[in-house]
């Protein structure tokens, strides 16, 4: 059963693409930040053990 409506309301389209950008860019930014954080901790641990 397919019940299709139509709309030219761009607010739904903009909401979807903003969400898409935030999902992908947000995850990428978090992944970069997390990588740097772990690298810093590892460097500090190596320095402390010397």
Distance CA 50, CA 41 (A): 15
Is position 44 an interface residue for other proteins (rule: CB under 8 A)? Answer: no
| Residue 50 Cβ vs other proteins, minimum distance, rounded to whole Å | 13
DSSP per residue, 3-31: -------HHHHHHHHHHHHHHHHHHHHHH
Closest separation in Å from C-beta 30 to other proteins: 10
- Residues binding other proteins (CB under 8 A): 1-10, 12-13, 15-17, 19-20, 23-24, 27-28, 31-32, 34-35, 38-39, 41-42, 45
């Amino acid at each position: 059963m397919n019940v299709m409506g139509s709309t030219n309301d761009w607010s739904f389209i903009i909401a979807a693409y903003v969400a898409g950008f935030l999902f992908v860019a947000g995850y990428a930014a978090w992944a970069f930040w997390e990588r740097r954080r772990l690298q810093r901790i590892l460097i500090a641990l190596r320095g402390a053990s010397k």
